[in-house]
Chain A
């Protein structure tokens, strides 16, 4: 277990922006799906009770679907960010502002 001095690997600004854009797109896709599910719960109880897949009610299918979708999105994001280059090192905690909000400083 290494709890010694912190070693920061800082991704370059272009990588940060690229990751952030991808993250926001995936976030938007998940948020829309999640809120469609909420609307469905409120307005279409009949749809939730229907059993079109394997004799299992849609409420279970949609619920499991949202959980597995979250895991899938997390993995996709992780893989897509893996190829990011431009890593530099520094020896202590960074508190630099983001590429998106540099106007603060």
Chain B
């Protein structure tokens, strides 16, 4: 769809970005030491840290991706919400306090605290970099998707803008400014999502009038010509004479008892009504650069059942291999949260274990409340008549626009800060790994505070540039799906090592190093050879892949555990278990 420039949105967006940059400059004096730059000197209040956890975690995937998935595929998107939150239980009950006790700046600190092994540091920092880059891709894709309707600018401009602002935030004041940007963003995101949910419930459901039905449900065709022009239904895409554009979609076809509108509904009635309704779900089929979008009348009861999303349709399959893809995804989501480097480093910004615990509880409450709202937001978008049939990442902002332009401006700006907050956290995790772990190992001497900060700032710039490039390259993928991959790599590479270091006294540095490397490489290889990657990245038929299902977690997480146990048993020496 073509979006017109929304000047209200531009103004609100500029104000929020200006505020975050001012905050960074204001807090810059707090980041003159390495402790200040990487861990805010452990001086963040637990409540602020808890909301910042939400700001860090509720990324473009959670807001744009999940809402888009629910809006187009129903309940499957909500499965991600469930899995993402469940992972926090692992973080709170298993990882938070021991990690806080053992670490200082990075996740490698905690793994290495009892070993002083360069191999552990190097492998942990490599996995931090890989996971951070994987996680950065969807954030940047989300940023590009947002800037199109805000400014009417191309996708790559949005990606570059986010990259530039985030690098500025991180380079100015490190973890301190990142924390307060995330705190601000976490609070705003939950508040405006609640407002949007209240408006959805107030509006209720309205059936498309019979007179408009044929026009609104007609197929839509988008075609790219050999000379690069875009045709919509055979006409050039545009708003001028002789041009046309894709229609917004999201139609309710039938309501229970033949009603034409419900008026305001309660939070439970919302689902009761949907259950007995029929909704038009749109599916696109692409053949040779020509995509045909077709509306399919779908019962509400079907929408609230898992298995509509192509990646999860295996749930309904008779074959166990297909079902395992779903189990594998849910396992990765469960295990991945507590292994994400940008989440783990947040435990070092509070003063003690009790604060780590309390901030995780605040984080769980905030994130859990938001995830409950995602089901309302997604279904609200699905029935809003405002969605872009060609881009499900835009479902939440366009839902807001169906209420008012001001709300659209606010939601878009909040979504943009969502990206800023998460990308800041990822870049600081990656630059911390480089400055604190990689460079001292490669150069063979520890860096002083000033050098460490300088290296971290240069690393932030480099990682930011890499993120911009990848964000442009992966433009067409659903941001939430990409995050699923990052969770798989994190859960396979980091969690087994973390758990075993904390709970198994026979773990050796060789076992931990092997586990991280095997987990990371096997998960990466699995993803790169999967059917989904063949189809969505290489443009090849998915059935040419040798991998039986696309999500690696169910194979690579146990593989990483087994590797650690086997190698540790082979290298364990009771008399002198701590070796380099």
Tell me whether B389 is interfacial, beta carbon within 8 Å.
no
**Contact yes or no, B304 A59, CB < 8 A:** yes
**Contact yes or no, B505 A103, CB < 8 A:** yes
**Contact yes or no, B361 A78, CB < 8 A:** yes
Q: Which residues of A (27-72) have their CB < 8 Å from a CB of B?
A: 27, 30-31, 34, 37-38, 41-42, 45, 48-49, 51, 54-57, 59-60, 63-64, 66-68, 70-71
**Contact yes or no, B327 A38, CB < 8 A:** yes
Total contacts A-B at CB 8 Å: 197
Tell me whether B503 is interfacial, beta carbon within 8 Å.
yes
Contacts of B73 in A (CB 8 A): none
- The CA-CA distance from A23 to B98 in the complex, in Å, is 12
Tell me whether B268 is interfacial, beta carbon within 8 Å.
yes
- The CA-CA distance from A100 to B42 in the complex, in Å, is 25
Q: A41 with B306: in contact, given A8-B351, A70-B86 (CB under 8 Å)?
A: yes
Contacts of B92 in A (CB 8 A): 23, 74, 77
Contacts of B316 in A (CB 8 A): 45
- The CA-CA distance from A101 to B113 in the complex, in Å, is 11
Contacts of A10 in B (CB 8 A): 101, 352-353
Question: Which of A51, A59, A68, A73 has the largest count of B CB atoms less than 10 A from its CB?
Answer: A59
Instruction: Tell me how many residues of A have a C-beta within 8 Å of chain B.
Output: 61
Contacts of A38 in B (CB 8 A): 326-327, 330
**Contact yes or no, B365 A71, CB < 8 A:** yes
**Contact yes or no, B86 A66, CB < 8 A:** yes
- The CA-CA distance from A56 to B268 in the complex, in Å, is 7
- The CA-CA distance from A2 to B78 in the complex, in Å, is 39
**Contact yes or no, A105 B578, CB < 8 A:** yes
- Mark each residue of chain A from 66 to 88: 1 if its CB lies under 8 Å from any CB of chain B, else 0: 11101101110110010000010
- Mark each residue of chain B from 88 to 99: 1 if its CB lies under 8 Å from any CB of chain A, else 0: 111011100110
Contacts of A103 in B (CB 8 A): 505, 577
- The CA-CA distance from A31 to B275 in the complex, in Å, is 29
A positions within 8 Å CB-CB of B: 1-11, 16, 19-20, 23-24, 26-27, 30-31, 34, 37-38, 41-42, 45, 48-49, 51, 54-57, 59-60, 63-64, 66-68, 70-71, 73-75, 77-78, 81, 87, 93-98, 100-105
B positions within 8 Å CB-CB of A: 27, 30, 35-36, 40-44, 75, 78-79, 81-82, 85-86, 88-90, 92-94, 97-98, 101-104, 109, 113-115, 176, 268, 271-272, 275, 301, 304-307, 315-316, 323, 326-327, 330, 334, 348, 351-354, 357-358, 360-361, 364-365, 368-369, 371-372, 375, 501-505, 507, 577-578
User: Please, could you name 16 A-B residue pairs with CB atoms under 8 Å apart, sorted by A?
Assistant: A1-B27, A3-B44, A7-B42, A8-B351, A16-B97, A19-B97, A38-B330, A42-B327, A45-B307, A57-B271, A74-B88, A93-B42, A97-B113, A98-B101, A101-B501, A101-B503
| 6 extra interface residue pairs, beta carbon distance < 8 Å, beyond A4-B43, A67-B82, A70-B368 | A4-B41, A24-B94, A70-B86, A94-B101, A101-B502, A101-B503
